Amino acid sequence: MGPDVPLLNDYKQEFFLKRFPQTVLGGPRFKLGYCAPPYIYVNQIILFLIPWVLGGVGTLLYQLGIMKDYYTAALSGGLMFVTALILQMTNLYAKQKTVTVERMQIQNTLTDEDEFEFSSCIGSETVKFIVPGKKYIINTVFHSLLAGVLCGLGTWYLLPNRITLLYSNIGGTVMIFVFGWLTICIGEYSLIINTATETATFQALDTYEITALMRPFYIFVFIAVDLAHRLLVMFLISAGTAIASYFIPSTLGVILFMTGFGFILSLNLSEIGFAFKHTMVSHLASSKSKNMHRGLRIQFGWREFIFYLTVLTFALIEASLLHQFAGFSSFSKGSPQAIASYILIILLIIMWILREIQRVYLFGVFRNPYYPKDVRTVTVFMEKQRRLMKVGVVRRILLTLVSPFAMIAFLALDRSLQNLHSVSVCIGFTRIFRMVWQNTENALMDIVVVSVAQMLVFNPDLWWNRSLDTGIRLLLVGILRDRLLQFFSKLQFAVAILLTSWTEKKQRRKSTATLITLNVVFFPILLTFIAISALLSSPLLPLFTLPVFLIGFPRPVRSWPGPVGTTACVCSDTVYYQQMVPSLAVALQSALAAGSLGLSLPGSHYLCRFQDRLMWILVLEKGFTYCGVNIKGLELQETSCHAAEAHRVDEIFEMAFEHQEHTKILSPNHHFGHILTPCTVLPVRLYSDARNVLSGIIDSHENLKHLKDDFIKVLVWMLVQYCYKKSKTWESPGSVNKSKKGSFSENQRKGAVERSRPLREEDSFSVDTIEDWTDDSDVFDLEPSGRMKDRKEPGLLGDVPEVHLSIPGSVETQGQGVPQEMSPEDKLYRAVVLGLPAVDKGKQQEVLPRVEFSCSYSELLSIPEEWRTAPVPPSKVNEMRQRFPEEWYHFILSQLDFFHLKEKPYNLPEALMKDKALKDLYIHGVLSCCFGLFGLDNTVPAPSHVFRAYTGGIPWSVGLDWLTGKPELFQLALKAFRYTFKLMVDKASLGPIENFKELVNYLEEYENDWYIGLVSDLEWQQAVLQEKPYLFSLGHDPNMGIYTGRVLTLQELLVQVGKLNDEAVRGQWANLSWELLYATNDDEERYSIQAHPVLLRNLTVQAADPPLGYPVYSSELLHLPLF
């Protein structure tokens, strides 16, 4: 898409032009999109001005001296309350009066939802259109009462005499009076008449009608400041002082209270509570609770409890001793508090250096000379990073143990805590005592700044030293630090949008030059907007991600409502993120604790990259030795926009981590100014994805020629292993029949029950012999429906006239003493011969004979009878006997140990090898599978047939129809074929197989360490979650006509991590929320979702919570311990 793609399509433009005036005016709908009677607009104007009229009555009475100001406010408020109730009752009456009428003619179904038919000025349709009413009765009363209070306070606030006394200017009084009442009218209309859609929409649905309260709330805030600033402040100061002095009269008690609760509240109390509850349930309930799934939750046990208790004890002892014996001296260059300040300054410098030295870029600008260069493998990286790991351990100790105790010493020595406690002292020191543990790095920075200011300014008469205690100073410094960081992040974001709107050709629109010029001319106003946005801690909203900046509405750190990780666009790619997240979380623990990810605060965003996977990490909360994060996975099927931004991400990471062999020391970051700054790489256990073109392998005549022979070998091995594993559940050869029947799957068991019914004795065609034949059956079907379809085909494998079936796994097919002359299928074929398979009249149809084993233990390895009933001619049986790999068959039998048998002959493998009947069973079983997959011809299979056989999509044939009727055998044959194909690829890549032992090793490795199948299989996803070491899949590109092999290998690999500009993400998410929830611009090709290589606009939109974004995976809140 070009840069001049419309910001809004024509339909959305018309919709937006109707909605925006409604938002500005608070709800009146003056632009409907269709013709409406004039009284619709007149009625709305009258209702809009009613609060002004009612307030004007009170104002007039006050100006004439008839009523006092507070009586005036009460009168106007009461009139507004009654009017609001009357309007709501009118709406309820109109709803009850309306009779539902079915419209027989609808001319335009597309516009029928928006158009109303008005009959009169005060008709029911008119009332319901202008005053939609409330959903709940309680809101009807509450909103009406609130409207009366708002009108009364507004009347009191906007009395002309009071405004004139304040400003002493008639013109100013008129302007404030007019615009003030316009503001109140807007708020009242939104509250009572019709609520406008707000640009600050946070949730898609307003279930409890909270949006109607937003505008009145803002008005109340401004009015309340003037009403209650004196009384409220005085009350809070008095109450706070009284409470502090009454309940905690001792200064030592205050120190211990603040220190103890500051530490306790900085812990992960939710996890501690979960661990306590889990422990209690484990002791009281059954053993099931002991297996409760905890995922990545912190394992809080006795070790952690003792650690926290020890730290708390030492902190209380230190604070009490220093406050009691050394806290009386004022701050000077040689005072104990000054000495603590020097220690804190040294700690801050050391920790800052130790943090920066672990990142690939210093300050995000210069390449760190101590960071490992040209990092590509885990072993090389871990070898080179040993020194940095030691640095991380030292920094972790300083951050977790040394710095908090040093800061507590500084605070306990402060003279402000020696005097009678005021509200300011309680607020300031309570906050900083918690910050010491909750956010140690920022608290250290704040204390150092305050202590340096005290060292530089010793003048006691200065306002900073005279009026403010240390707690309030730290509070002000903390607010200033936080807002300055936000200001510079927002400024970097704004400058990036301005510059890239011109430098990036694909972002250059026709209006770009004009917008840049306006931003340069009004740059002071832009800075003011950024400053106000930072002061309010609200996102800087770039409208449609253009250089048009607005102040967004304050939002929580997550930016989205709802629980964490409950929504995601789950697809087949989700499993790859599910598999890697536990390992990634463990790697993040070490990185966050060591500081290699920089200063991580709640609201920090990180982006991880590995091959085609993108992980978006959001820090949600952080405390003493723990951090809570949410990890999202973005889609793997890259669109053009996704691919363009992912390519730029790869460039940035490759420049930082992989191409450093020729760079100079302190070389600059070539991508400085990008919202992504590389931090480090993390070793994570995940799947690497390798895709290879199989040209020259799958289409090689030599490889395909050996495919059938290898398939026979693999199938023999698989059938033997299947029967051997099943024999482990049997106790003795005498119980084979019972055990083998019980080992069938449910489908086989049902088929066996049906096939075990006695056959009819009559030879003639009758209804009894074809009791499953129905009128719905097709005479052209190759086999009858119902139970006849499940019966086995007549066998061609023996010449014995009399049958006594007692083979393990077989079923009786005739009554006792009744000779079998013709099966029901034969009788049906004789009666209805049109379109049915031809039958050789010269040969008698025979059933399978009883198999006489020369070794009694052969029954353990006997395959089920129905697996040997494929309708193949005897010539193919003889041919298979010639092709059957007897030596391979003997080798497989020699590998069986039969350890599960209590009593067995010492020469059992040799006896099994000599049993020809057992070998014939396997010959017939192998022949049945070959008949189903390859048919009866001996031609070399084509690559297309190999691909279809691998995927299970072979065209229909009689043999395949028979094979699919045996689901368990079909799955074994399909699995054997896939193993054979993988063996063919390995032989072509690694060389031929030397001996049977090597072949067995290959097959055992496939069985234990591989999943060989299709990406679309459910078993593929299960194998990924079970962390199978290897996965293989065969694919085909019909456009290019090539076959591809995909191999997933589970190993520990390096994942690249970079830090994102937090304000850039918040700003783009704020625009996304406004654009989709307010402007309803959900066009998939809209401008604000197009690729932006610097802002990563498309990836940022993807990472938003659904329904606005579409991550394929979103984790729950992961609690990472940072010991």
Contact 968, 740 (CB under 8 A): no
Single-letter code of the amino acid located at 1032: F
- Residue 1030 has a pLDDT of 96
Helix (H, G, I), strand (E, B) or coil at 875: helix
Closest Cα partner for 665 from 413, 367, 406? Answer: 367
Tell me which H or E stretch contains 576.
helix 574-594
- Residue 837 has a pLDDT of 46
Structure tokens belonging to residue 379: 């072993």
Is the bond leading into 561 cis (omega within 30 degrees of zero)? Answer: no
Return the residue matching tokens 């500081």.
595
H helical segments located in 357-458:
378-384, 386-397, 403-412, 423-438, 440-456
CA 893 to chain centre: 50
Return the residue matching tokens 């301005």.
498
Would the CA dihedral through 593, 595, 596, 601 be positive or negative? positive
Report the half-sphere exposure of 1039 (CA within 13 A, side-chain side): 0
Single-letter code of the amino acid located at 148: G
Report the half-sphere exposure of 488 (CA within 13 A, side-chain side): 6
* 1030 bridge partner residues: 1010, 1049
CA distance 898 to 855: 15
Contact 148, 77 (CB under 8 A): yes
CA distance 548 to 854: 91
Structure tokens belonging to residue 578: 């599910």
Closest Cα partner for 925 from 917, 898, 742? Answer: 917
- Residue 463 has a pLDDT of 64
- Residue 459 has a pLDDT of 63
CA distance 300 to 290: 15
**Other C-beta atoms within 10 Å of 1122: how many?**
20
* Residues 57-70 as b or e (16 or more Cβ within 10 Å = b): ebbebbeeeebeee
CA distance 215 to 56: 21
Q: Mean pLDDT of successive 10-residue segments in the chain (1123 residues)?
A: 70 82 85 79 90 91 86 91 91 74 39 61 83 86 92 89 80 89 91 83 73 86 66 50 54 80 83 75 53 48 86 91 74 82 94 90 86 77 82 92 93 78 76 91 94 76 71 92 95 95 88 93 95 94 93 84 84 93 94 91 94 94 92 87 90 83 71 92 93 90 89 92 82 44 38 35 35 38 36 36 36 38 41 42 52 81 82 82 88 84 77 86 86 81 90 85 88 93 92 91 94 93 94 91 93 94 94 89 85 93 90 93 82
- List pLDDT tens digits, range 348-360: 999 999 998 888 8
H helical segments located in 626-745:
640-657, 701-705, 707-727, 736-742
Structure tokens belonging to residue 693: 């073109």
Contact 743, 754 (CB under 8 A): no
Closest Cα partner for 328 from 426, 413, 422, 254? Answer: 413
**Measured between alpha carbons, how far apart are the two ends of the chain, in Å?**
49
Interstrand relation of 549-551 and 540-542 (parallel, antiparallel or unpaired): antiparallel
Contact 689, 972 (CB under 8 A): no
Angle between helices 403-412 and 251-265 (to 10 degrees): 150
Closest Cα partner for 186 from 225, 142, 154? Answer: 154
CA distance 823 to 828: 9
Residues 6+ apart with CB under 8 A from 725: none
Single-letter code of the amino acid located at 31: K
Structure tokens belonging to residue 887: 């030596």
CA distance 1039 to 721: 40
Residues 6+ apart with CB under 8 A from 1108: 560, 1072, 1073, 1076, 1077, 1101
Single-letter code of the amino acid located at 854: S
Contact 739, 809 (CB under 8 A): no
For 418-570, strand residue ranges (E) read 540-542, 549-551
Closest Cα partner for 179 from 144, 219, 212? Answer: 219
Interstrand relation of 613-623 and 1010-1013 (parallel, antiparallel or unpaired): unpaired
Return the residue matching tokens 């009586």.
71
Angle between helices 967-990 and 707-727 (to 10 degrees): 130
- List pLDDT tens digits, range 123-151: 888 888 888 888 888 888 999 999 999 99
Contact 327, 413 (CB under 8 A): yes
> Cα dist. 699→303, 695, 707, 940 in Å?
62, 6, 12, 11
Q: Is pTM beyond 0.75 here?
A: yes
Tell me which H or E stretch contains 680.
strand 676-693
Q: Dihedrals φ, ψ of 376, to 5°? A: -130, -35
Single-letter code of the amino acid located at 349: I
Residues 6+ apart with CB under 8 A from 215: 26, 186, 187, 190, 191
Provide the 8-state DSSP code for 919: H
One-character DSSP codes across 156-186 = HHT-HHHHHHHH--HHHHHHHHHHHHHHHHH
Structure tokens belonging to residue 189: 């209309």
Q: Dihedrals φ, ψ of 605, to 5°? A: -120, 140
Structure tokens belonging to residue 359: 């990142």
Contact 1032, 1045 (CB under 8 A): yes
Contact 683, 587 (CB under 8 A): yes
Residues 6+ apart with CB under 8 A from 49: 185
Residues 6+ apart with CB under 8 A from 971: none
Q: Dihedral through CA 24, CA 25, CA 28, CA 31, nearest 10?
A: -50
Contact 752, 744 (CB under 8 A): yes
- Residue 343 has a pLDDT of 94
Provide the 8-state DSSP code for 1076: I
CA distance 885 to 996: 11
CA distance 106 to 91: 26
Return the residue matching tokens 């990563």.
1096
CA distance 496 to 386: 37
